[in-house]
Amino acid sequence: MKTYKYLFLLTVLTGLILTGCESLDVKNLNDPDFATAFSKPSDVKGVAGGLINTWFQYTQEYNGPALALWVGADAGTCSHGNAAMWHFSMEPRIAWDNTPSYSYAVITENFYKGMYSLLSSSNEILEKVVGENMKITADDGSDETPMVKAMAYLGQGLALGYVGLFFDKGFVVTDETDLGETIPVSSYTELITAAIASLDKCIAVCESSTFTLPGPWIPGKTYTQVEIGQLANSMAARLLSYSPRNKAENDAVDWGKVLAYANKGLTYDFAPKMDDINWYDLYHTYANYAGWGRTDMRIAHMMDPAMPERWTLGADQWAALPPPTTAHKDGVDDRIFTDFQYLSSCTFRVERGYYHYSCYRYSRLDDYLATWITPSPVFRKAENDLLKAEAMLHQNNYSGAADIINAGERVTRGSLPPIGATAAEVDAAIFHERNIELYCSGLGVEFCTMRKADKLQKGTPLHFPIPGQQLEVNLMESYSFGATKGVAGKDYSNGGWF
């Protein structure tokens, strides 16, 4: 029997023997043997039940890339050194320190290892239920194998896809991989392609089966094969739309596929209910909690053009600011007072740059910050709608795209006037909504939005390198991106928004 042990020494159940340059050579380790550890169907079902939680916790983690990407996109701002926020938001931008000794190396290491831990668990499950034809049976005798299989394919797709979204390369290893062969390094585009293939398998299982997830697997809502299929479709659309590193790559996306996935995507907000024990959202916490992150002035200016888009006048700028908008005003997005809070002081460290200063914070998640047990939205239905509109835009269906946008939150919540059916207006509205309506939702939404439009500040890394500690394990040459390291426009931004 094959066993899958390829997770960079993550747990006693997984490990890697890595040799060569930019290749992965896998050796089975049997201490303990996975066949013994997961010999019972109930064990396999139990692991399947934790897959989405694993993905959620690593993507919304404090010691992950979420906060750094948030400030690097000039969506949020924070001068604190925590979670690499200060370093990743420095102006001018600096290169990512990819040495294992870097004080914030954990930001990429934890996430990279976490995604491969998720991949390992997903693959092990599939080896059981597909490779060995293990049957998972409920207490009432019903067959739960399709449910477990669907969740494993979903976990496999999410793991591969999120490595592809935020790293320049990685390793594609699935339940179908021949572990007797050396596994080469794969580009981010190959990772995304593999992820889509896995999500397609999840979708196929959901379309041919009937099941209801146990409540604790994703708390806060009942998930049947319908909702899981919708989630997988939306995730596929997200990966295709968000993976481009520049505008040229974005224009080359297969937008027909994006539209096909989005048309079968979310009809609800994917927002697991937090319990502050097994489910908690530290990205949402530290981005918005008092004394931590603020909303970048770029975002405030997008909603209220009277607000400066950059803080340039020093600590006394409050005297020069216009009064905050607190009721509807033509030309101003209502969400500046419904979703954001005006503040009349800032405690950020002056010596780290006034460009960090801001007079706004995000208040839409305050119920979570007050209780820690509310749903935490990481993929809003509005995002799926924007994916539809974006696909239509690239297919020259401007009226269809405008109809979606005008029926959405831009008008209903922002009280902004409807847009016309032109390419320029649709494109601008999608960009606006991704920055405002989807603000501080899922990992990297604003970063990917800026990246694919060539709007990240000059020198910002467009993706992370394989973490330095993993390069050492792989006997691979050290490298990094940012400032002038890498290829301009492909590894670091040569564009900008100002």
Quick one: pLDDT at residue 56?
98
Domain end residue (candidates: 202, 234, 263): 263
Cross-strand pairs, 224: 212
Same domain, 48 and 150: yes
Quick one: pLDDT at residue 26?
38
- How far apart are the C-alpha atoms of 458 and 435, rounded to whole Å? 19
Same domain, 247 and 292: no
- How far apart are the C-alpha atoms of 366 and 189, rounded to whole Å? 37
Same domain, 211 and 310: no
Same domain, 110 and 143: yes
Give domain status of residue 147, yes or no: yes
pLDDT tens for 368-412 read: 999 999 999 999 999 999 999 999 999 999 999 999 999 999 999
Same domain, 203 and 347: no
CATH of the domain at 69: 1.25.40.390
Same domain, 83 and 224: yes
- How far apart are the C-alpha atoms of 339 and 329, rounded to whole Å? 16
DSSP result, 436-473: HTTTT-STTHHHHHHHTTT-SPTT-BSSBPSPHHHHHH
Quick one: pLDDT at residue 427?
98
pLDDT tens for 339-360 read: 999 999 999 999 999 999 999 9
Same domain, 234 and 345: no
Domain end residue (candidates: 229, 263, 297): 263
In order of 209, 239, 388, the CA distances from 395 in angstroms are: 33, 18, 11
Give domain status of residue 449, yes or no: no
Quick one: pLDDT at residue 15?
33
- How far apart are the C-alpha atoms of 153 and 88, rounded to whole Å? 33
343 neighbors 360 (Cβ within 8 angstroms): yes
Which residues of the chain fall short of a pLDDT of 50?
A: 1-31
Same domain, 242 and 299: no
Q: Is 237 helix (H, G, I), strand (E, B) or coil?
A: helix
Same domain, 187 and 246: yes
Q: Is 409 helix (H, G, I), strand (E, B) or coil?
A: helix
Domain housing 136: 23-263
Give domain status of residue 55, yes or no: yes
Quick one: pLDDT at residue 386?
99
Quick one: pLDDT at residue 313?
76
Q: How many domains does the chain have?
A: 2
Give domain status of residue 447, yes or no: no
Torsion, Cα of 236, 265, 395, 496 (10° steps) = -60
Give domain status of residue 443, yes or no: no
Domain end residue (candidates: 263, 296, 331): 263
Same domain, 93 and 225: yes
Q: Is 208 helix (H, G, I), strand (E, B) or coil?
A: helix
Give domain status of residue 48, yes or no: yes
Same domain, 31 and 142: yes
Give domain status of residue 482, yes or no: no
Give domain status of residue 14, yes or no: no
Tracing tokens 């269906």 back to the chain, one arrives at 397
Burial of 489 (0-12, 13-18, 19+ CB in 10 A): middle
Torsion, Cα of 388, 389, 390, 396 (10° steps) = 110
Same domain, 166 and 52: yes
Angle, helix 106-126 to helix 145-166, in steps of 10 degrees: 150
Nearest CA to 54 out of 108, 113, 106 is that of 113
- How far apart are the C-alpha atoms of 440 and 360, rounded to whole Å? 14
